[in-house]
């Protein structure tokens, strides 16, 4: 599966290719982190894959970018000095890091949990395992 490197009407592609303005906070070979222009709280940061620009979904991102993502998140956590924060992967290509200074600011999350039994979970797990095995030849190591 391969994605186009640059999509002109995608704001994240334009930012990653420096064709749209942004306020940078951190950058690596693979990642570009910048402040969200409509922040949920102070220090709300967006990270973009600059090595392989456009991807709509997490599974289209390069392994190199994904391996870079959490170390960059750690740097940003230190930089914002946020005591609490959320990390959000929207399935577009950007990952958000949002300080949670109090109940009113930051990311709001609904968690509508359902009651299920192990018997209901087993076939779901089996479908997921089969799909992973079908699609994982040559990628990440498995234990
Ligand atoms: Zn894009």
Place of tokens 């959320």: 86
Give me ligand 1 centre to Cα 91, in Å: 11
Q: Which two tokens stand for residue 72?
A: 């960059």
Q: What are phi and psi of 25, to 5 degrees?
A: -120, -25
Kind and range of the H or E run holding 93: none
* Topology of the domain covering 1-103: HIT family, subunit A (3.30.428)
Give me ligand 1 centre to Cα 123, in Å: 35
Give me ligand 1 centre to Cα 72, in Å: 20
Give me ligand 1 centre to Cα 142, in Å: 30
Total-model pTM: 0.76
List the chain pLDDT tens, one digit each, 143 residues.
455 678 888 888 888 888 999 999 999 998 889 999 999 999 999 888 877 767 878 888 888 888 998 999 999 999 999 899 999 887 765 678 888 999 899 888 888 889 999 999 999 989 988 987 887 765 556 56
Domain boundaries, the chain: 1-103
């Amino acid at each position: 599966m391969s994605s186009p490197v640059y999509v002109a009407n995608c704001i994240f592609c334009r930012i990653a290719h420096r064709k749209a303005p942004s306020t940078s906070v951190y950058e690596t070979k693979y990642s570009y982190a910048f402040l969200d222009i409509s922040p949920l709280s102070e220090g709300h940061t967006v990270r973009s894959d600059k090595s392989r620009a456009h991807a709509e979904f997490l599974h289209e991102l390069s392994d190199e970018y994904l391996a870079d993502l959490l170390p960059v998140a750690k740097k940003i956590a230190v930089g914002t000095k946020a005591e609490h924060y959320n990390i959000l992967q929207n399935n577009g290509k950007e990952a958000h890091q949002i300080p949670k200074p109090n109940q009113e600011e930051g990311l709001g999350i609904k968690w509508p949990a359902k009651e299920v039994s192990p018997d209901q979970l087993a076939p779901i797990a089996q479908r997921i395992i089969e799909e992973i095995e079908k699609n994982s030849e040559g990628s990440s190591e498995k234990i």
